[in-house]
Structure 1
Amino acid sequence: MASPTRPTRTERDVRIDLAAAYRMAAINGWDDTVYTHLSASVPGEPGHYLINPFGATFDEITASSLVKVNVQGRVADGSGARVNPSGFAIHGAVHAARPEVECVIHLHTPWGVALSMLPGGLQPTSQWAMRLHGRLGRHAYEGLALGPEEQQRLVAELGPLDGLLLENHGPLVVGRSVAEAWMLMHMLERAARAQLRAMAATGGQVLVASPELASLTYRQWVGDGSEWDGDLEWPALLRRLDRSAPGYRD
């Protein structure tokens, strides 16, 4: 739940942050032409969230171009915009099950997809990975379409966690803010790249921290929980994006 000291979010705030997250995902090479999604719930409108219009690339997304939809999969802003049904199947299910979550990110990131193929998944081999220690579940691959029964399995496997590795598919993370979700994806992708590079260099033999040490590092990282991932980094990331691609706020 949000801290009572945090300022109230407006739809405009969320639109700007989500558009920025799309632009930075494109810059990082996390996009997959016009597929995959970052979504964010609309403040004051339970059951509604913002998502990208289908057919737009991530670097084209602006605050005003985001489409408002409901968790039943219907466009709710009168725009008649086209949206990808898979965005409803995953994002709608997670937003409905986790109303305390502002942002859901599911991407086909290069290293995240590779990690999703490993039976052992993410291991505590780096500090990035230890931030996510014990916070990622797994969901078995069941094909392209997510029907109601698979949606139920996916949200049950997610539970209260920070995310899932969708096996043979890619990573999914959630956050109490767009900034938090984006930073979790950033750390997951960094951790996956470090682990897979080390495994490739050594034939799979890598140093793995003990569960006790990984848990200690996680507790040291999150502290008392008053500061969320992204609180410090997000303003700096927005300043950098304002210098390189300011049109996202439009």
Structure 2
Amino acid sequence: MTVLTPVMTKACNEEEKQLRQNLAACYRLIALYGWDDLVYTHISCRLPGIKRHFLINPYGMMFDEITASSLVKIDSQCQKVDESPWPVNPAGFVIHNAIHQAREDVCCVLHAHSVATVAVSVLECGLLPLTQHAMFIYHSLSYHDYEGPAVDPDECQRLQRDMGNNNVMFLRNHGVLVAGETVADAFQNFYFTQRACEMQIQAMSCGESLVAMEHEVIQDAYAKIQTATLHQGGMLTWPGLLRRLDRTDRSWRD
């Protein structure tokens, strides 16, 4: 029987500790909102420093079990840097490594198979400019055609090409890939993507004509949203989300 006790890593500096805790919190939040998919999605975070090291989930651990110390540290060849009894999802590494290689501005990459994002990924129209929630990410949106589970390293270049400088990419017939300058930004980008997809699917299910936003409104919306959210990005809500986790279970910090 597999023991789910977190694996304590070697002593790490304060910056790595903070990143570990933020990433563990992100996993717990995805589970809390019901957006996980057993063990088959993943969130990664690039560690600072010359060496290209990343944190990713222990493959086989449920998202609501993940703690700061149980996260697996790997290098750019998917080799474990610190000891861990847990493997790493090979498909997860291909997807995440592709984006981390191409985007120095990205710290965190989040991949999800939530019902709403998968539903929109199979629509030919993709995500439509129907709601204010969609406006949070509509300016930074792209699509990548399905090639099966991402275990082929050759897919990296196509993932990089299709992602470009965007922060949200629908993986057709599969789910969504979201990037952020911080863990908080990545979570917020996914949150608004998820909510926009839920709202679109519900609106489309009514069978009535849909009212899309005008091009001029779309062009101005993102700048206005930045003003309305005090230009703080994901950090406006992140401390409150951490408090929400702490009220029920603080073990993610361990």
Q: TM-score, normalised by structure 1?
A: 0.92
Contact 2:144 2:170 in 1 (8 A): yes
Is residue 71 of structure 2 the alignment partner of residue 32 of structure 1?
no
1:244 counterpart residue number: 248
2:197 counterpart residue number: 192
CA distance in 2, matches of 1:122, 1:103: 22
Q: Secondary structure at the match of 1:156?
A: helix
Q: Which residue of 208, 211, 217 corresponds with 1:213? A: 217
2:21 counterpart residue number: 16
CA distance in 1, matches of 2:187, 2:51: 22
Contact 1:133 1:215 in 2 (8 A): no
Is residue 139 of structure 2 the alignment partner of residue 140 of structure 1?
no
Aligned AA (1:220)? K
Gap regions ≥5 residues in structure 1: 1-8
CA distance in 2, matches of 1:90, 1:177: 18
2:157 counterpart residue number: 152
Q: What is the CA-CA distance between 1:45 and the residue it aligns to?
A: 4.7
Q: What is the CA-CA distance between 1:207 and the residue it aligns to?
A: 1.0
Matches within 5 A, 1:227-238: 227-238=231-242
CA distance in 2, matches of 1:171, 1:46: 28
Q: What is the CA-CA distance between 1:183 and the residue it aligns to?
A: 0.5
Q: What is the CA-CA distance between 1:80 and the residue it aligns to?
A: 4.9
Q: Secondary structure at the match of 2:68?
A: coil
Contact 1:103 1:175 in 2 (8 A): yes
1:97 counterpart residue number: 102
Aligned AA (2:214)? S
2:66 counterpart residue number: 61
Q: What is the CA-CA distance between 1:224 and the residue it aligns to?
A: 11
Equivalent pairs: percent with the same residue? Answer: 44
CA distance in 1, matches of 2:75, 2:229: 30
Gap regions ≥5 residues in structure 2: 1-13
Post-superposition Cα deviations, 1:98-155, rounded to whole Å, max 9, x if no partner, equal 1221100001011011110111111110001011123110000011134233210111
Q: Secondary structure at the match of 1:104?
A: strand
CA distance in 2, matches of 1:199, 1:68: 42
Contact 1:180 1:228 in 2 (8 A): no
Is residue 207 of structure 2 the alignment partner of residue 202 of structure 1?
yes
Contact 2:118 2:176 in 1 (8 A): yes
